[in-house]
């Protein structure tokens, strides 16, 4: 073969090889890029990317004026790369000991996490700035810090039962955090982290811009100031009478807006695990109890509305004892005859029973059901109970009498407040309005909630008549005299009920629920307040125990709302009322009026400078009474000086 021909063969052969090689490369490239591209890309990312789930940044919860009640803040969390630590020859137990000296977690648990064959583990979530700085100062490769969102409640205990709390992963657990979790939560983050050539995890700030969206924000009807007032005065009331617990609900009767919900004992939602689970419970909606005499206004209202009784009708009250079937109904006092209004003012069980009989089973059941008893209010909080009001066809012969004065049925404090709101606003039962609006992170309106009328409970004239009757309850000779407010006309009703014994049956010996529910000013109602005190030990009558809590909350709340008092102001020091010791055995012979007991409770309060406004002289019916100069003294000293002078004093502000 000639050299030229051989050269051509060689060139052809090389060309063929190149062609085949190029074909194989193209085929392989096609396979890698097209056929297996997605799989290989995923495998490659596994080598240098790690998705780390982070808690979402929840939206803010505001009060009605825009004050922040719950916010999300960025804090550091400590993580580890166990594979990198192993590659660097780090002893997991030694590293764990170093971290345990800084973090609130024992070294054994840390060592267990560091021993895992993983690229990423959390060591401790949401640490303090001091702890984060100390971890960083250790300078251990494979141990790092990551910023994530933490739920924070800037007012600590304030509105704890309304707000509830969220866990470390940003999920709502209690309260509004739970019921509005979907709106507040946003979307959970899965943030990519890049591993460098030594295996260390590096979070890219560019990648972090693509993290989960912030949740929507929620604006409540709650007034932060009134909420604080309610919590302060409820705690004082519970402590004063050495009670087990208590609840307060404050509403606007015209709209159904909830201005405050207070419970005691309470908790700090920033650290809920430090408190018993019972402290987390919103007793105002979850706890049901027999309401006792606070139901009487609704019995009377239903009877008047249907014509079963007349407002001026008089009833034989049997001199304090009435036989019904094999039972005897008693009154605290031996009344011979009372009018419909006097039955409310003097809280006659016998008179209420006779009104119940006049209505009949069906009429009484329907009348109470119109006020919402036996059904849930629909408030935007988890765990609400509807109370118990059995259908009238299941009643026994005695039930028409006992249910008429609040036994044999159960309610919660929220139900009681909303029912009284229907009397205050002219007969319309409103749905409690707790959430006013939901907005997105840009401030745009997502959802708005307007006042909602559930039904007309009674005609307007009936509500007005009952309202007028209830003002007599807080007159000096009424059962709720201690609920009377300086400068404001009050309509309300006391309640004193034995607690049911659900284990042994019947009623628990010596255990009571003391309550007061009412509104003010009675002529132009601005607020409804329902107060429930559970198992007070020192006294148990509703007027004595719950009445003063109602009064103190009402006076301070009305002043905050700018409602002018009659006579131009409120007297902060006044002559003590004469105490009818026949009304409360606990008060007889030991000086335990509610006013004196408040002085004892004040001894346990922090000594803080308090400005006490007084006049130099206070006029009584028969002369002038000297008042000590209390300017600039502490709260405890002011209360003691006033009491030593024979005066009844209250702390305001």
Looking at the domain assignment, is residue 267 inside a domain?
A: yes
pLDDT, tens digit, 9 for 90 and up, residues 103-125: 999 989 999 999 888 888 999 99
354 and 231 fall within a common domain: yes
Q: Can you tell me which residue has the tokens 């909830």?
A: 258
- Please name which of 81, 84, 107 lies closest in space to residue 94, comparing C-alpha atoms: 107
For residue 420, the domain's CATH number is 3.40.710.10
Radius of gyration, alpha carbons of the chain: 35
Asked if 590 and 543 sit in the same domain, the reply is: no
Kindly state whether residues 432 and 580 are assigned to the same domain: no
User: What is the Cα–Cα distance from 595 to 577, expressed in whole angstroms?
Assistant: 9
User: Which tokens hold the place of 477?
Assistant: 């000779």
Q: Residue 251: enclosing H or E segment and its boundaries?
A: strand 245-251
Count up the domains in the chain and report the number: 3
Query: Given a cut of 70, is residue 453 above it in pLDDT?
Result: yes
Distant-in-sequence contacts of 484-487, Cβ < 8 A, 24+ apart = 484/551, 485/520, 485/551, 485/554, 485/555, 485/558, 485/570, 486/555, 486/565, 486/570, 486/571, 486/574, 487/555, 487/565, 487/566, 487/567, 487/569, 487/570, 487/571
For residue 314, the enclosing domain spans 224-562
Does the residue 557 lie in any domain?
yes
Q: Which position has the higher pLDDT, 644 or 149?
A: 149
Banded pLDDT at 581 (limits 50, 70, 90): very low
Residue of 609 and 373 predicted with greater confidence: 373
CATH number for the domain that contains residue 150: 3.90.1310.10
Do 95 and 156 lie in a common domain? yes
Q: Are residues 643 and 609 in the same domain?
A: yes
CA distance 215 to 171: 12
Find the helix or strand (DSSP H, E) in which 491 lies. strand 491-500
pLDDT of the residue at 202: 54
Token digits of residue 471: 């003002």
Q: Is residue 38 part of a domain?
A: no
- 212 and 237 in a single domain? The answer is no
The pLDDT confidence band at residue 604, using thresholds 50, 70 and 90, is very low
The answer to whether residue 167 sits within a structural domain is yes
Query: Residue 1 domain-assigned?
Result: no
What average pLDDT does the structure give for the chain? Answer: 83
Q: Which helix (H) or strand (E) element contains residue 589? A: none
Q: Cβ(517)–Cβ(423) under 8 Å?
A: no
SS3 at position 90 = coil
Query: Are 166 and 247 in a shared domain?
Result: no
- Residue 152, number of CB atoms within 10 A of its CB: 14
Check whether residue 246 and residue 368 sit in a common domain: yes
Q: What is the pLDDT of residue 65?
A: 95
Q: Please indicate, yes or no, whether residues 405 and 468 belong to a single structural domain of this protein.
A: yes
Positions annotated as catalytic residues are: 293
DSSP 498-565: EEE-TTTSSEEEEEEEEEEEEEESSSS--EEEEEEEES-SS---HHHHTHHHHHHHHHHHHHHTTPPP
- Do 336 and 282 lie in one domain? The reply is yes
Question: Would residue 330 count as lying in a domain?
Answer: yes
Helix or strand holding residue 72 (H, E): strand 68-80
Contact 259, 223 (CB under 8 A): yes
Q: What is the pLDDT of residues 404-418, one digit of tens each?
A: 999 999 999 999 999
pLDDT at residue 626 greater than cutoff 80: no
Percentage of the residues of the chain whose pLDDT score is greater than 90: 60
Positive or negative: CA dihedral 175, 179, 180, 182: positive
* Structural domain contains residue 27: no
> In the listed set 544, 562, 580, which residue is the last one of a domain according to the structure?
562
pLDDT reading at 48 higher than 70: no
Domain boundary residue, one of 562, 590, 610: 562
Rounded Cα distance between 258 and 421, Å, is 11
Q: Of 532, 562, 592, which closes a domain?
A: 562
Is 518:547 a contact under the CB 8 Å cutoff? Answer: no
Cis peptide bond N-terminal to 591, omega within 30: no
Look at residue 605 and tell me whether its pLDDT is greater than 50.
Answer: no
Is residue 9, in this structure, part of any structural domain at all? no
Structure tokens at 214: 């912030």
The H or E element spanning position 74 is: strand 68-80
Whole-angstrom Cα distance, residue 22 to residue 13? 14
Segment 266-316, tens digit of pLDDT: 999 999 999 999 999 999 999 999 999 999 999 999 999 999 999 999 999
Q: Sorting pLDDT into bands at 50, 70 and 90, what band is 508?
A: confident
Same domain, 428 and 536: yes
Residue pLDDT, tens place only, 554-565: 999 999 999 998
Same domain membership, residue 644 and residue 595:
yes
């Amino acid at each position: 073969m000639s050299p030229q021909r051989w050269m051509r063969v060689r060139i052809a052969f090389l060309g063929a090889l190149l062609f085949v090689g190029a074909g194989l490369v193209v085929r392989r490239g096609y396979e890698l890029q097209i056929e297996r591209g997605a799989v290989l890309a995923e495998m490659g990312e596994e080598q240098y990317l790690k998705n780390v789930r982070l808690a979402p940044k929840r939206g803010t919860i505001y009060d009605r004026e825009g004050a922040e009640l719950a916010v999300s803040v960025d804090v550091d969390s400590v993580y580890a790369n166990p594979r990198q630590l192993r590659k660097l020859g780090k002893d997991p137990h030694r590293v764990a000991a170093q971290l345990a000296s800084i973090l609130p977690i024992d070294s054994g648990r840390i060592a267990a996490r560091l021993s895992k064959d993983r690229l990423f583990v959390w060591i401790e979530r949401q640490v303090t700035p001091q702890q984060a700085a100390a971890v960083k100062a250790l300078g251990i490769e494979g141990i790092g810090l990551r910023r994530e969102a933490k739920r924070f409640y800037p007012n600590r205990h304030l509105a704890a039962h309304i707000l509830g709390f969220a866990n470390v992963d940003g999920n709502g657990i209690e309260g509004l955090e739970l019921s509005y979790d979907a709106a507040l939560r946003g979307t959970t983050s899965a943030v990519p982290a890049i591993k460098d050539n030594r295996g260390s995890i590096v979070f890219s700030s560019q990648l972090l811009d693509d993290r989960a969206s912030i949740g929507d924000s929620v604006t409540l009807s709650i007034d932060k100031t009134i909420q604080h007032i309610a919590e302060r005065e409820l705690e004082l009331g519970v402590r004063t009478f050495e009670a087990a617990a208590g609840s307060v609900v404050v509403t606007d009767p015209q709209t159904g807006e909830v201005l405050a919900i207070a419970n005691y004992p309470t908790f700090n939602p920033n650290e809920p695990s430090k408190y018993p689970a019972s402290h987390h419970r919103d007793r105002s909606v979850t706890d049901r109890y027999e309401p006792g005499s606070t139901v009487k206004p609704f019995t009377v209202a239903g009877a008047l509305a249907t014509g079963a009784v007349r407002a001026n009708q008089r009833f034989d009250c049997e001199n304090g004892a009435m036989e019904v079937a094999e039972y005897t109904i008693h009154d605290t006092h031996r009344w011979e005859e009372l009018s419909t209004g006097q039955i409310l003012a003097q809280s006659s069980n016998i008179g209420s029973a006779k009104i119940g009989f006049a209505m009949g089973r069906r009429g009484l059941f329907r009348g109470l059901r119109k006020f919402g008893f036996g059904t849930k209010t629909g408030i935007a909080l988890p765990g609400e109970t509807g109370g118990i009001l059995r259908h009238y066809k299941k009643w026994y012969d005695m039930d028409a009498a006992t249910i008429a004065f609040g036994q044999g049925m159960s309610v919660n404090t929220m139900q009681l407040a909303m029912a009284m709101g229907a009397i205050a606003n002219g007969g319309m039962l409103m749905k409690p309005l707790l959430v006013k609006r939901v907005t997105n992170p840009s401030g745009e309106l997502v959802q708005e909630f307007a006042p909602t009328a559930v039904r007309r409970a009674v005609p307007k004239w009936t509500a007005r008549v009952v309202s007028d009757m209830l003002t007599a309850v807080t007159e000096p000779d009424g059962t709720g005299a201690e609920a009377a407010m300086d400068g404001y006309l009050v309509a309300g009703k006391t309640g004193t009920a034995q607690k049911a014994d659900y284990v042994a049956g019947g009623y628990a010996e010596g255990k009571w629920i003391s309550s007061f529910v009412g509104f003010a000013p009675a002529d132009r109602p601005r607020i409804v307040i329902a107060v429930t005190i559970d198992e007070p030990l020192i006294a148990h009558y509703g007027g004595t125990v719950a009445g003063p809590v109602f009064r103190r909350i009402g006076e301070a709340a009305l002043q905050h709302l700018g409602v002018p008092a009659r006579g131009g102001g409120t007297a902060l020091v006044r002559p003590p009322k004469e105490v009818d010791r026949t009304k409360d055995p606990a008060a007889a012979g030991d000086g335990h009026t509610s006013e004196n007991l408040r002085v004892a409770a004040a001894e346990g309060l922090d000594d803080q400078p308090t400005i006490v406004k007084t006049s130099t002289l206070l006029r009584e019916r028969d002369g002038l009474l000297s008042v000590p100069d209390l300017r600039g003294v502490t709260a405890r000293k002011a209360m003691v000086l006033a009491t030593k002078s024979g005066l009844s004093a209250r702390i305001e502000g």
